[in-house]
Structure 1
Amino acid sequence: MALPKSMRYLAGATFCIFIYLFVQILRAPASESEIKVPSKTPESGYNSKDRDPQLDPSGEPPGPLRRVEGDNYAPNDPASARINATILSLVRNEEADDMVQSMRDLERTWNHKFNYPWTFFNDKPFTEEFKEKTRAATKAEVRYELVPAEHWDIPSWINMDLYNESVSLLLEQKVQYVERQSYHQMCRWNSGMFSEHPALKDMQYYWRVEPNVHFFCDVDYDVFAWMQDHNKTYGFNINLFDSPQSVATLWPETKKFVEDNPSYVHPNNAQEWLEDGKRRPENHQIAHGYSTCHFWSNFEIGDLSFWRSKTYREYFTHLDRAGGFFYERWGDAPVHSVALGLFEDKTKIHWFRDIGYQHIPFFNCPNNPKCSGCVAGKFSDGAKWLEREDCRPLWFKYVGMD
């Protein structure tokens, strides 16, 4: 007995749906783990794996990458492919051996290929011994520069009685290095004076390297050229919380400056990163609204144009006049970080995940076969509480990883 026409139509439609679903199943991934889900959505931010540096697959940044081809980066070649950039360090004569340690690591992993010049700064003249040791550590040009007294000396508007009283109070709060006058001077110089040194007038980019740091990974592309080609302003490696007591009034003074200059704040800023204190280590407080998250500036690769801009020069002058470099212990790391977080497009700030690095007691150790000498994923050297100082998860949450 023949089926009614309506039943035949229904059977045909059912069969077609079955075939369609069968084909979709064959085309779909075999398991959920094979599905590539975007790591960032406007609603959720980065997922937990992306926020964990130990689980992040570390590799080179997106291209194009400029590499050595023949002798295009040969030392002392004025027609080389090098751009206007230098490796720089503020260093004392007695730190010569520690400086050579850092030079050997960076030369071995990167600069022996590209031969960018080294520029050393000191508030005292460099000794012949320092020059001899550092010149022997590189084939590149080495420059030795004196910091002008007007860039280094304590400004005339600082009340020394108030300074001494403030130091005593901060010592009671166990703020590190606060008793060292030269430390305050160093922080101020690195915050706003270094970019004004005449020796850097023709330079656009710099890589700051300090004595007694370590580099672990072979990097075979021109890092400075990558910054230029991708319009990046700043590159960091480690991102930490700071001591709230050392920057107690930095955020209030910043807010005063912003209230007077609202147009200076970039519309695509990282203010949420600067204000989110939820991940603060136990028993630490935020500093009057500032999370204290900052780029650890003993490693920084930057565009000097930002520090020379009208916005930053006015901001630094405002902070300098407020006196916090001496009455508190404002470091160049939080000052640079707050400025970048408010006044720059956050997409122009890059995490160099592929550059293995250590400045005691913290590490950036990529999971990368080009790295040796450190444990992949290791962040700190010692006590467990140091692990809680990592502020990178908040950066990934609000900005991501490019």
Structure 2
Amino acid sequence: MCVTAHYIDNEWVLRKRVLNFCPISSHRGVDIGKALEMCLLKRGMESNIFTITVDNASVNDVAVAYLKSKFANWENSILKGKWLHVRCTAHVINLIVPDGLSHIGNSVDHVRVAVKYIRQSPQRLTKFKEFAEIEKCMSTNSLILDVPTRWNSTYLMLETAQKYERAFGRYDNEESHYREDLDKTGVLTSTDWANVRRLAKFLEHFYELTLKVSGTLHVTANGFLDDITFIDAILNNCLCSDKDKDLVSMANLMKSKFDKYCGGLKNCNMATIVASVLDLRNKFEFIEVLLGDMYGNIEMKSMCAIIKASLVELYEDYVSIYAPEPTSMCDFSDSPSSSNKRSKSVVMEPSSMLKEKVRMEMKRRKSESIIQDSKSELDTYLNEDVEDD
């Protein structure tokens, strides 16, 4: 089990450190949770843990639930671990895409067989490169054979192969054994190439998004809402396609898996939504537009109310933990001056005592009014204009 910490240092630089890398004796969720708990305790990190990001294995749900029960008793645990569990976006994408690829048809298999055939022999590869030069294929990349269980390698295979379409065609025309050896299963047709180009363009969105969310030198949480909105838009566009039934079928399967992990607020960690609001370019105006496009204005308003309440809850939790002790503006009775005045009240005239009491009450009410009328830092932030990109 590898445990990696991400934190911002005193110079506001994002850091990444491996805390632990060790074998674990059990893959039960509770045991994983205990192993992670011991790692944090040994490091003296039983406070200030905000979120834990894991992949979507069911045992990890159990592990995080165990840790959440422990975090409730740890010092400075933000919201008592309420937003502790974050699902890895890159892993969600890795679950969504293969579901669709499994129903895309035979074109991917044809490319795989053809690429494998060329790469099996140095002589074939040399001949293929000669044909690529003759056909002026504008690519210097080598042919890539994918690992079928890793969709991103399938994308890279298709993306590279399509650039050599004319070279594959010339190889087929000039090498008589090509068709015989493949028994026609890897002979690529114009229909196959059309499918490959369309599929590669579709998968490119998810490949680029995977690279984006896997970044470790910059904060990625504030882009989460953009990312899931982008995926939703891509899938919806494919579902509206009336030209490619395979792509529609693929998008349907992917949309079902997407909704399972990212559909609606209930399936998202609120910390990632709040992170988008805390992006100076976004705030609530951005959230309203995105959610309005995805769910309609009525549902958007109820969602924004939930997000606002969550944001205030988080802010108040930080205030309770980190805000400096307030000066005793209200409790004048405990101040040294009031104590002296109380000791002198024995010899004060009744009229003076009454006047002092009135003055103290006036001060108390004034201080309460100032506190009630003042805006919090959060309110001030939300009311300021957004920044440009």
Indicate the TM-score class for this superposition, using the shorter chain for normalisation.
under 0.3
Q: Looking at both structures, which has the greater relative contact order when contacts are Cα pairs under 8 Å and sequence separation is at least 6? A: 1
| TM-score, scaled to structure 2 | 0.22
The structure with the larger Rg is 2
Q: Which has the higher helix share?
A: 2
